[in-house]
Structure 1
Amino acid sequence: MFDKLEIFRMSQGLAMHAAKRQSTIAQNVANADTPGYRARDIASFAETYAPLATDGMRATRAGHLNVTSGPHEVAQAREALRPGAVSPNGNTVSLETEVMASASAKGDYDLALGVYQSSLRIMRASLGKQ
């Protein structure tokens, strides 16, 4: 019952998105010296979560309105457009950019964890359990 609350699904989705982004960034760093390697990134969480936000009716349970996708599906990696970051061997990985992207992904993960923990505390308090 409580696993279907939107706040928990959203925080789970954000955590999964941050983990996937961190993995993609790690692949970029691992291939920083590979000739011709193109830096990759994934779409922002807002872009991947937005298609489910409609101004029409919303499904509240399985089978209602025949909804086929969940809000916590992780976006696929795509090539990042980073102008001016091409090395002479055709590699587009900039370690400085990857460090900043990694910090951003960690911040997203920490946010997801904070939202989950706060929501859990609120639910426990409403049930009378501290």
Structure 2
Amino acid sequence: MFAKLELTRMAQALASHAGSRMDVIARNVANADTPGYRAHDLRPFAEVYKSEPDMRATRPGHFAKGGNAARGEIIAGSGSEAPNGNDVSIEMEMVKSASARQDHEMALAIYRATSGVIRASLGRNG
């Protein structure tokens, strides 16, 4: 029932995108001292969500792409390089991590609010 609502679908995609972005950020931090490693990031959620085709899957696995707006392509960062060729900035990764956390919390808040509206419309209090 919830998956059919556009707002909950968007909130789910935002939460998934935030989780995927945290994974990329964690890999960047783990490789902060690896010579030649380039920092990566995902495209912003708004770009990824807008580029998603306006089609609906009728069963799991219907689309080869998966129909998941949260999956974005990994793009290279544009930080300044250290002498060893590594361009990971721990401070920048912390900022990106806070942004991804805020996106995830927003998605959860939207999902909770939508859940409350649906419960109220069904005549349930909690």
TM range (shorter): 0.7 to 0.9
Equivalent residue runs for 1:1-130 within 5 Å: 1-52=1-52, 59=55, 62=58, 68=63, 70-82=67-79, 85-130=80-125
TM-score w.r.t. length of structure 1 = 0.83
Structure 1 contact 38–93 (Cα < 8 Å) conserved? yes
CA–CA distance in 1 between the matches of 2:70 and 2:102?
19
CA RMSD of aligned residues (A): 2.0
CA–CA distance in 2 between the matches of 1:15 and 1:30?
23
Structure 1 contact 28–40 (Cα < 8 Å) conserved? yes
CA–CA distance in 2 between the matches of 1:25 and 1:71?
20
Q: CA deviation at 1:77?
A: 1.8
More displaced, 7-16 or 72-81? 72-81
Unmatched 5+ residue regions in structure 2? none
CA–CA distance in 2 between the matches of 1:47 and 1:78?
13
Describe the shift of the 1:59–1:39 C-alpha distance in structure 2 as closer, same or farther (beyond 3 A).
Answer: closer
CA–CA distance in 2 between the matches of 1:21 and 1:43?
9
Q: CA deviation at 1:72?
A: 3.0
Deviations 1:65-93 (A, max 9, x none): xx9463534113221223xx211111000
**Count of equivalent residues:** 121
CA–CA distance in 2 between the matches of 1:11 and 1:116?
6
- Return structure 1 stretches of 4+ with deviation > 3 angstroms: 58-63
CA–CA distance in 1 between the matches of 2:109 and 2:2?
17
CA–CA distance in 1 between the matches of 2:44 and 2:56?
25
